[in-house]
């Protein structure tokens, strides 16, 4: 009953690879009737040679299902679909000595992944199209009517083209960062760092953007250093402080606070607070999602990729830290906790303070 009703694909094969049973879900995915699959070799339909075989006892020992691995299903129309699947050895009945196999094709998971990928590509295409439209439009205007434009108009149009090109660059850099994070290819050099030095450098780098805001830092002396990658720590701080500046009214204060945690001495906490419009409670759970942007008057006036907070959270997690957000009208605070580097830990690792 479970075999027939499962939404995921199931195929039972003999030790020689002959298909003994195939459920309707997998037959539909392959594009053939079940009767046309039975008694054929599994390799006509599934590339099982690339899958890691697991035994039923290996998984039963800890109660876990077989771990999925991407494999290829060959469909009747000639297409090869790459989907997560598992190849499970099933103990043979005596007097047989060789294992039969149960192949599980995770159709439901594959559909979810495919939908997420489709939505991601659609969103990226939209984000790319907006600046490209502006660049093309103003470039065409300069080419067609350049001799009729005065110097100030030409400078303004060229300035718009440059701004939109910069926007494209930021989007591409964010997409590359997302790709590296999700493929776990981002290299980290962890060492003991002084948090106040990192905050100072980021505030200096954002000096032009923060000219119409007050930046206030509250970092006590003697704060333990932190275990972090220098570039990634500054990227986290930059994303949070830059967001606080962008999404709060001119003349307001952005406050960066840090403290040691008496109840969790193995961590150092820092927070970035702004005096903006706040984030609605309904939207808070989505704030760290990809391409997520809160709809309020300030965000509508401010360009952004919607990837900054997703990248920020991913970087914090990569540093074995945590991030949270609280918000009310007139106040939003992002709080980060990352591992502290005590003198004892530094001595044990033979490290020096950066």
Three-state DSSP string of 87-111: EEEECCCCCCCCCEEEEEECHHHHH
Q: By the 8 A CB rule, do 270 and 323 touch?
A: no
State how far the Cα of 294 lies from the Cα of 306, in Å rounded to an integer: 9
Q: By the 8 A CB rule, do 292 and 286 touch?
A: yes
Q: Could you report the per-residue pLDDT of 115-174, keeping only the tens digit for each?
A: 655 666 666 776 778 788 888 888 998 888 878 888 888 888 899 898 888 878 878 877
Q: What are phi and psi of 88, to 5 degrees?
A: -110, 125
Q: What is the mean pLDDT of residues 62-68?
A: 55
List the beta strands (DSSP E) in the chain: 9-13, 19-22, 53-55, 69-74, 80-90, 100-105, 190-193, 214-218, 226-229, 253-260, 267-274, 322-328, 331-339
Helix (H) or strand (E) holding 128, with range, is: helix 107-145
State how far the Cα of 213 lies from the Cα of 198, in Å rounded to an integer: 20
Q: Please enumerate in sequence order all residues whose Cβ is within 8 A of that of 15, keeping only pairs 6 or more positions apart, or say none.
A: 92, 96, 98, 99, 100, 101
State how far the Cα of 205 lies from the Cα of 272, in Å rounded to an integer: 16
Could you give the dihedral angle defined by the CA atoms of residues 274, 169, 185 and 112, in that order, rounded to the nearest 10 degrees? 80
State how far the Cα of 27 lies from the Cα of 18, in Å rounded to an integer: 15
Res. 300 pLDDT band, cuts 50 70 90: very low
Of the chain, the percentage scoring pLDDT greater than 90 comes to 27
Q: By the 8 A CB rule, do 232 and 342 touch?
A: no
Alpha helices in 269-342 (DSSP H): 297-301, 308-318
Q: Which domains, ranges and CATH numbers included, belong to the chain?
A: 2-105 (3.30.450.20), 113-182 (1.10.287.130), 190-349 (3.30.565.10)
Residue 61 has pLDDT above 50, yes or no: no
Q: Which of 2, 69, 71 is nearest to 42 (CA)?
A: 71
Q: What is the mean pLDDT of residues 96-102?
A: 74
Output 172 or 272, whichever has higher pLDDT: 272
Q: Which token pair is 263?
A: 């109840």
What is the value of pTM for the model shown? 0.59
Residue 164 DSSP class? H
Q: Which of 103-112, 119-128, 188-197, 328-337 has the lowest mean pLDDT?
A: 119-128
């Amino acid at each position: 009953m479970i075999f027939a009703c499962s939404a995921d694909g199931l195929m039972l094969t003999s030790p020689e690879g002959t298909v003994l049973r195939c459920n309707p879900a997998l037959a539909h995915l392959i594009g053939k009737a079940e009767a046309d699959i039975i008694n054929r070799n599994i390799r006509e339909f599934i590339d099982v040679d690339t899958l890691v075989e697991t035994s039923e006892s290996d998984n039963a020992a800890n109660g876990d299902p077989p771990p999925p691995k991407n494999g290829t299903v060959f469909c009747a129309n000639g297409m090869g679909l790459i989907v997560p699947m598992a190849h499970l050895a099933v103990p043979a009945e005596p007097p047989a000595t060789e294992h039969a196999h149960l192949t599980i094709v995770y159709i439901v998971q594959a559909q979810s992944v495919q939908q997420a990928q489709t939505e991601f590509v659609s969103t990226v295409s939209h984000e790319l199209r907006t600046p490209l439209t502006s660049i093309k439009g103003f470039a065409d205007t300069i080419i067609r009517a350049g001799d009729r434009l005065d110097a100030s108009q030409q400078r303004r149009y060229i300035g718009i083209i440059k701004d939109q090109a910069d926007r494209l660059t930021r989007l591409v850099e964010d997409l590359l960062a997302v790709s590296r994070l999700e493929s776990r290819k981002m290299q980290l050099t962890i060492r003991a760092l002084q948090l106040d030095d990192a905050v100072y450098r980021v505030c200096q780098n954002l000096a032009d953007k923060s000219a119409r805001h007050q930046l206030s830092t509250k970092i006590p002396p003697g704060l333990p250093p932190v275990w972090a990658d220098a570039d990634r720590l500054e990227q986290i701080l930059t994303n949070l402080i830059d967001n606080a500046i962008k999404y709060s009214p001119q003349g307001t204060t952005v406050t960066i606070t840090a403290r040691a945690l008496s109840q969790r001495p193995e961590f150092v906490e820092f927070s970035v607070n702004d005096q903006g419009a706040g984030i609605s409670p309904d939207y808070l759970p989505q704030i760290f999602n990809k391409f997520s942007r809160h709809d309020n008057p300030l965000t509508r006036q401010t360009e952004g990729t919607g990837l900054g907070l997703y990248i920020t959270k991913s970087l914090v997690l990569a540093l074995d830290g945590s991030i949270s957000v609280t918000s009310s009208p007139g106040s939003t605070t992002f709080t980060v906790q990352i591992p502290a580097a005590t003198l004892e830990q530094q001595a044990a690792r033979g490290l020096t303070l950066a």
